Amino acid sequence: MSEFERPIRLGMVGGGNDAFIGAVHRIAARIDGQFDLVAGALSSTPEKAQASGKALGLAPDRTYDDFKAMAIREARLKEGIEAVAIVTPNHVHMAAAREFLKRGIHVICDKPLTSTLADARKMAQAVEKSDALFVLTHNYTGYPLIRQARDMVVNGDLGDIRVVQVEYPQDWLTEAQPEDNKQASWRTDPARSGVGGSTGDIGTHAFNLACFVTGLTPESLCADLQSFVDGRQVDDNAHVMLRFAEGARGMLWCSQVAPGNENALRLRVYGSKSGIEWGQENPNVMRYTPFGEPTRLLTRAGAGAAGQPDHLTRTPGGHPEGYLEGFANIYLEAAECIRAGRTGQQSSKHVALPGLEEGMAGMRFIDACVRSSARNSAWVSLK
């Protein structure tokens, strides 16, 4: 196998035993055979880090008790990691990413960028000083129909964009959760999640998706944030109105206290010529309605699939693809960029990886929502 063809050596920070998103990243990285997990600092607890490394088949000397030790040693090894996936709670993102970036190791980081805007600015400095690639895993941008929707906007199929409606309701935090619920405990702790609760956890996904598909520039917003569950220190529901520099208007709703909703991310975009509607829970179908004409159903890899890059779909039309494949497409394009960098080439034009810019936009969104809500939902700038 040539240097270009061999799997990229991958490390992971976080994602140990019982961690949900770490397993998702590992599956996504393996789907196309582009990455080989060879090292990890999988938990802040040494005993759990070692047990997690053993469970994943990592060599004992490549299983680390902390990410700094991992970054230092792996950078010195001849066959050390080339990229690292950071899948920790938000407050660890900046410190971990900085250790790897300054040693030239590519970073694939879970969203949001960090837990605070101040840390996000430090992260930005680290990214700008490094020659390494920085990728933020806004995985919904990897869905083939989302890429097609983006192309339709660029091609003018929708005309001038006027209205953007995006929502992401869940129900899993409708009641207070026990302390031993790891996924809930850190997400509802402002010291680890940041000041934004639902806005940071899922609102950033909705905000990113709206901007990714439409290409619009968010200019200002007004937000009404709630913490409905007694004692909760972060928001669990948010209603946000958006103004875009191009003249379009938008509305965003995110909630983790909406019974009957699991992961109901939904996007609707209306222009002067037509409208589109897409939902994450049935991601292989998109409604497209030219004004005055019957609604058309566009399907992944089906008739009318123009604009869906072939490399982002793996099964024939009618066979469902979804969450894991969307994540895998982020890893696939990250691999393409890493491989292109080895030879000084440009990655192909279809690559649309979210990175620092999208991460900073998400952090400004959270910060603006909190500021607006604290001022009785006043309009605030996103700049």
Contacts (Cβ under 8 Å, ≥6 apart) of 192: 89, 90, 91, 115, 186
Mean pLDDT of 170-184: 93
Assigned domain for 302 exists: yes
Residues 147 and 131 in one domain: no
Nearest to 143 by CA among 61, 84, 213, 193: 213
Q: pLDDT band at 3, cuts 50/70/90?
A: low
pLDDT mean across residues, the chain = 95
End-of-domain residue from the set 104, 136, 168 = 136
Assigned domain for 100 exists: yes
Q: Residue 66 corresponds to which amino acid?
A: D
Residues 242 and 302 in one domain: yes
> Is the predicted pLDDT of residue 308 greater than 70, yes or no?
no
Residues 191 and 153 in one domain: yes
Mean pLDDT of 327-339: 96
User: Which tokens go with 299?
Assistant: 């399907």
> Is the predicted pLDDT of residue 352 greater than 60, yes or no?
yes
Cα–Cα dist 267/283, whole Å: 11
**Number of domains comprising the chain:** 2
Query: Partners of 277 in the beta sheet?
Result: 268, 287
Residue 176 belongs to domain spanning: 143-315+359-381
Percent of the chain predicted with pLDDT > 70? 98
| pTM of the shown model | 0.95
The rounded Cα 244 to chain-centroid distance in angstroms is 22
End-of-domain residue from the set 136, 163, 189 = 136
Residues 166 and 245 in one domain: yes
Assigned domain for 353 exists: no
Note the pLDDT of residue 307. 67
Mean pLDDT of 80-104: 97
End-of-domain residue from the set 103, 136, 169 = 136
Residues 195 and 220 in one domain: yes
> Is the predicted pLDDT of residue 13 greater than 70, yes or no?
yes
- The DSSP bridge pattern shows strands 266-271 and 161-169 to be antiparallel
